[in-house]
């Protein structure tokens, strides 16, 4: 595997400079790429939840991943909190939708969360419940996805016939937009919608690898370093109620139901990883 030279790294001096960098990214329909953003409270590489496991073998990770996901999907309690895909004529429609919701319920998957709006990435660049990284640099990753590697399930529904566990390339997914009557029972979908979420899905051959370290992909990534001082400025800028809104801790969803889901998902993650 070849490795490329350093990824383009922006080092803003303050919050205003950070915003100028993020606003300068071309989001127009004429751009040769589709730009999305990912905030992290520490300057980690881009690894999915399952890629952060102790295993260094993609085939072993794949076996654990599928055991974890299908036990999640077949759990009666958890399944009752998932939105059902109405387009059942597509072979893997429910698998895709289940995978998307599992990610936002914090199950370990091969997906990486990104947002179509940089404002959401600002929040995640400082989100640090245990205050472990307050004095460390955070990062906002920018992925300029080539349009040939972009699955828009609103426009190209036939992609729902593809098995997400058998893809041979890396793709950005804008998942099918559906809001049925049971929408407000589906916590994962509420979170994805509020966070303007989309996903990068890793092919099985690279499950053990940070995608920004792979020669054929890392040319499309840039990152913006978020210093501790800028973190403080972001915290002052953001609405203090934003966390509750993005994670749906107030209003629409019952906290007791959310805690039950969290406990079950945590158990399954530890069982397989």
For residue range 167-204, what is the model confidence (pLDDT) as tens digits? 989 999 886 555 455 545 566 667 777 878 889 999 99
pLDDT mean across residues, the chain? 86
Mean predicted confidence (pLDDT) in 23-52: 94
Residues pairing with 112 in the sheet: 200
Residue 49: pLDDT band by 50, 70, 90 thresholds?
Answer: very high
Q: Count CB neighbours of 195 within 10 A.
A: 23
Report pLDDT for 179.
Answer: 47
Mean predicted confidence (pLDDT) in 84-111: 86
Report pLDDT for 1.
Answer: 41
Q: In 105-205, which residue ranges form alpha helices assigned H by DSSP? A: 118-126, 187-194
What is the β-pairing status of strands 171-174 and 150-152?
A: parallel
Contact 89, 83 (CB under 8 A): no
- How far apart, in whole angstroms, are the C-alpha atoms of residue 173 and residue 90? 16
Q: In 27-80, which residue ranges form alpha helices assigned H by DSSP? A: 58-74, 76-79
Mean predicted confidence (pLDDT) in 145-162: 82
Report pLDDT for 246.
Answer: 76
Least confident of 56-60, 75-79, 87-91, 191-195: 191-195
Residue 251: pLDDT band by 50, 70, 90 thresholds?
Answer: low
Residues pairing with 9 in the sheet: 223
Residue 148 or residue 137, greater confidence? 137
Report pLDDT for 157.
Answer: 77
Report pLDDT for 6.
Answer: 79
Mean predicted confidence (pLDDT) in 24-38: 93
Asked whether the predicted pLDDT for residue 244 surpasses 90, the reply is: no
Report pLDDT for 57.
Answer: 85
Report pLDDT for 152.
Answer: 75
Residue 211: pLDDT band by 50, 70, 90 thresholds?
Answer: very high
Mean predicted confidence (pLDDT) in 92-100: 87
Asked whether the predicted pLDDT for residue 85 surpasses 70, the reply is: no
Token pair for residue 153? 């399930």
Report in angstroms the alpha-carbon separations of 253 from 45, 60, 124, 188, 235: 33, 36, 21, 11, 25
Mean predicted confidence (pLDDT) in 247-259: 66
Residue 247: pLDDT band by 50, 70, 90 thresholds?
Answer: confident
């Amino acid at each position: 595997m070849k490795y490329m030279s350093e990824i383009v790294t922006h080092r803003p001096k303050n919050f205003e400079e950070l915003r100028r960098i993020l606003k300068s990214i071309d989001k127009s329909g004429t751009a040769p790429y589709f730009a999305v953003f990912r905030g992290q409270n520490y300057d980690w590489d881009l690894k999915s939840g399952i890629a952060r496991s102790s295993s260094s073998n993609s085939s072993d990770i794949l076996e654990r991943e599928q055991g974890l996901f299908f036990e999640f999907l077949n759990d009666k309690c958890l399944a009752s909190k998932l939105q059902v895909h109405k387009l059942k004529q597509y072979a893997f429609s429910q698998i895709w939708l289940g995978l998307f919701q599992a990610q936002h319920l914090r199950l370990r998957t091969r997906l990486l969360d990104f947002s179509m709006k940089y404002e959401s990435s600002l929040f995640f660049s400082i989100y640090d419940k245990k205050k472990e990284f307050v004095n460390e640099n955070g990062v906002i990753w920018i992925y300029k996805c080539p349009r040939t590697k972009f699955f828009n399930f609103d426009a190209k529904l036939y992609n729902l016939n593809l098995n997400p566990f058998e893809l041979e390339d890396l793709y950005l997914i804008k998942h099918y937009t559906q809001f049925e009557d049971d929408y407000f029972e589906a916590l994962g979908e509420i979170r994805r919608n509020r966070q303007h979420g989309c996903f990068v899905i890793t092919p099985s051959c690279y499950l053990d690898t940070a995608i920004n370290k792979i020669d054929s992909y890392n040319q499309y990534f840039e990152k913006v370093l978020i210093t501790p001082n800028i973190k403080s400025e972001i915290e002052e800028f953001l609405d203090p109620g934003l966390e509750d809104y993005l994670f749906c801790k107030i209003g629409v969803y019952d906290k007791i139901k959310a805690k039950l889901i969290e406990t079950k998902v945590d158990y399954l993650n530890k069982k397989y990883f």
